[in-house]
A and B are shown apart, each in its own frame.
Chain A
Amino acid sequence: MSQIHVSTKINGDATEYLCEPEETLLDVLRDRLGMTGSKEGCGTGDCGACSVTLDGRLVCACLVLGAEAQDREVGTVEGIAEGDSLHPLQKKFLEHAALQCGVCTPGFLVAAKSLLERNSDPSEEEVRYWLAGNLCRCTGYDKIVRAVLDTAKEMRSA
């Protein structure tokens, strides 16, 4: 079995790796690149814990082959903060206690950021439907939805 050479951009950084044809982008991020912020909760696209962006589009990294990232741009949770300055969503998640165990949090942040980039003033219902592919078993979603709505509000007034 021969490995595939891939050149891509992750969080703005040019990155190269080798991967097996059947390896997913999630496998590559976690096992080859040491970027363990994206989590595997199901491996079947049903939980959203591995949410990343691919050329700006929100996807599950477990449903993308590593080989497909050639010449694309990948965005992960590790790229949300700028240096030591947190993204407003990250701050609001902390302020609102929108995480308990925190394993779903990276996926929620990537997904919520993608929402706010498209819609700066989402309704509660829009937030809930956009995030329906991100499972959280601890919070009942209440504080997550509040954190996202509050971030949107703050970013609009900024």
Chain B
Amino acid sequence: MRYEAPRKLKRAVALLSAESGVARVLAGGTDLLVQLRSERIEPDLILDIKRIESMHAIAAERGGYRIGAAVSCAALGEHAGVKQLWPGVVEAATLIGSTQVQGRATMAGNLCNASPAADAAPALIAAGATVAIAGPGGRREVPAEAICLAPGRNALEKGEIVESLYLPARPERSGDAYLRLIPRSEMDIAVVSAGVSLSLDAAGRCSAARVALGAVAPRPLRVEAAAAALIGSDLDEAVLAVLAAACAAACDPIDDKRGTVEYRTEVAGVLAKRAAVIAQTRAGGAA
């Protein structure tokens, strides 16, 4: 096994492209080192991207923020601007693991690890975030929901590397929220999770919404039917019930050590409802 820590993105792409064996990108390393230790993976190349200066930047861009792939969740949580614009996304970032894990883990890494239960995914999908990918063929930008293809499998091609995430600008009277169900108060992987982002019109009516669920299907889900239920409403009980039902209908979970099919399906709707109400409040609407 080789360890490389290039200082330039171009060099990183070149190293990844040239590697004939198995290569793994080390961003935060909080998943990668666990996999290494358990001998689940035995890569030939570990590519550490933390020496690439630009990967650490959080920059304002077109009213939103571009977040470098090596920005730790802790650093993201300390960024007042992102926190104000996308509190739900920051909420997700600061729920990933412990304080120690947040000191290392990255949103980009969490996404690329391609766990259906990743905390980053529902929040970023609900936010309409995009992912900038650098590769031998140049740079491309894809929606966050396109990254996870299946448990443990992401959409990156040979030689490709995530460069940054982009959180877009949003209209006034917008809010987002992320909730997950874990048995403890911390340190668990989501049993079910939900992210909701919405905007309100001047009358307080929902004018736009995105809803995403985690840990209820082989990949994080964007649930358009659930969002459609919110749009045009003021999120009354009946609407929230339709939202919950739409979420439950979208679920395709498994029974595993963390939860059952019934439980996940049921609680997905509960969390989506609660997240929607928090997002509404954050958007300045009636709770």
Which positions in A face B, CB cutoff 8 Å? 1, 4, 21-22, 24, 43-46, 48, 51, 54, 57-60, 62-65, 67-68, 70, 111, 114-115, 129-134
Task: Give CA–CA (A112, B67) in the complex, Å.
Answer: 29
CB contacts under 8 Å to A, within B218-255, are none
Q: A65-B48, A129-B99 given; name 20 further pairs at CB < 8 Å.
A: A1-B1, A21-B1, A21-B3, A22-B46, A24-B33, A44-B34, A45-B33, A54-B103, A60-B100, A63-B28, A63-B29, A63-B30, A65-B29, A65-B46, A67-B3, A68-B29, A129-B185, A132-B186, A132-B187, A133-B97
Name which of A22, A59, A114, A115 has the most chain B CB atoms within 10 A of its CB. A59
Q: Do the beta carbons of A68 and B101 come within 8 Å of each other?
A: no
How far is B41's CA from A92's CA once the two chains are assembled, in angstroms?
Answer: 43
Chain B residues within 8 Å of A57, by CB: 72, 74, 103-104
User: Is A132 a contact of B185 with CB atoms below 8 Å?
Assistant: yes
Q: Please, which residues of chain B bring their CB within 8 A of the CB of A129?
A: 99, 185-186
Task: Give bound CA distance, A115 to B185, whole Å.
Answer: 19
**Does B205 make an interface contact (CB < 8 A)?**
no
A111 to B29, CA, bound (A): 19
Tell me which residues across on chain A come within 8 A of B97, comparing CB atoms. Answer: 45, 133
Cβ A132 vs Cβ B99 within 8 A: yes
Q: Mark B8-44, 1 if CB is under 8 A from A, else 0.
A: 0000000000000000001011100110111000000
Pick from B3, B48, B104: contact of A59, CB below 8 A. Answer: B104
* Cβ distance B94 to chain A, nearest Cβ, rounded Å: 10
Minimum distance in angstroms from A65 CB to a CB of chain B: 7
A45 to B5, Cβ gap below 8 A?
A: no
**A58 close to B50 (CB less than 8 A):** no
A60 to B104: give the CA distance in the assembly, Å. 9
Contacting pair B34 A133 (CB below 8 A)? no
Task: Name B101's closest neighbour in chain A (CB-CB).
Answer: A45
**Known interface pairs A24-B33, A63-B34. Does A133 touch B101 (Cβ–Cβ under 8 Å)?**
yes
CA–CA, A58 to B100, complex, Å? Answer: 5
**Inter-subunit contact A65/B103 (CB<8 Å):** no
Residues of B within 8 A of A (CB): 1-3, 5, 26, 28-30, 33-34, 36-38, 46, 48, 50, 72, 74, 97-101, 103-104, 185-187
CB distance from A23 to the nearest CB of B (A): 10
Q: Which residues of A contact B50 (CB under 8 A)?
A: 68
Given known pairs A60-B101, A62-B33, A133-B99, the reply for A4 and B3 (CB within 8 Å) is yes
B33 neighbours in A (Cβ, 8 Å): 24, 45, 62-65
- Pick the residue among A43, A45, A68 that contacts B98 (CB under 8 A): A45
In the assembled complex, the CB of B44 is this many whole angstroms from the nearest CB of chain A, namely 10
The smallest beta-carbon distance between B53 and chain A, in angstroms, is 13
- Which A residue's beta carbon lies closest to that of B33? A63
Q: Are B104 and A65 in contact (CB under 8 A)?
A: no
Chain A residues with Cβ below 8 Å from B48 are 65, 67-68
Question: Which has the most chain A C-beta neighbours within 10 Å: B26, B38, B103?
Answer: B103
Q: Which 4 A-B pairs give the minimum distances between C-beta atoms?
A: A133-B98, A132-B186, A21-B3, A57-B103
Identity of the chain A residue whose Cβ is nearest the Cβ of B30 in the assembled complex: A63
In the complex, what residue of chain A is closest to B37 when comparing beta carbons?
A43
A77 to chain B, nearest CB (A): 14
Given A21-B1, A65-B33, residue A133 in contact with residue B100 (CB < 8 A)? yes
State A114–B187 Cα separation when bound (angstroms): 19
B187 touches A133 (CB 8 A): yes
The residue of chain B having its C-beta at the shortest distance from the C-beta of A56 within the complex is B103
CA distance A68 to B103 in the complex (A): 14
How far is it, in angstroms, between the C-alpha of A114 and the C-alpha of B98 when the chains are bound? 13
**How many Å lie between the Cα of A67 and that of B29 in the bound state?**
13
Whether the Cβ atoms of A111 and B100 lie closer than 8 Å is: yes
